[in-house]
Amino acid sequence: MAMGKKSTQYTSKRSGDVIPYRSIQLKFAMDERICDGFYYASSLRMLNKIFQTPEQLLHPPEKVIVDEGVGRKRIDI
């Protein structure tokens, strides 16, 4: 992931009011030889949810899923 420079964008409401908002561009380089596109898409959806409501990071998760493969030594080395 690469982050671009901060910028101010403008949007308009139906009433005609113009509202400024700050944004930053994010660019991703992904390789489907390493991971299927489905997992990239689901990860980006989760990242979008976090960006929409960042205050959820202040609370611990309801459930922690432990990956059984983490922490084991590789046997193919």
pLDDT higher than 80, residue 46: yes
Q: Minimal CA–CA distance to 23: which of 38, 7, 41, 37?
A: 7
Taking the model in full, what pTM does it have? Answer: 0.54
Strand partners, 10: 20
Q: Break the chain into its structural domains and give their ranges.
A: 2-12+22-54
Task: Label residue 40 by pLDDT band (50, 70, 90).
Answer: confident
Task: Report the C-alpha gap between 24 and 9 in whole angstroms.
Answer: 10
Q: What mean pLDDT do residues 20-38 have?
A: 86
Task: Report the C-alpha gap between 50 and 16 in whole angstroms.
Answer: 30
Share of the chain above pLDDT 70, in %: 88
pLDDT higher than 70, residue 76: no
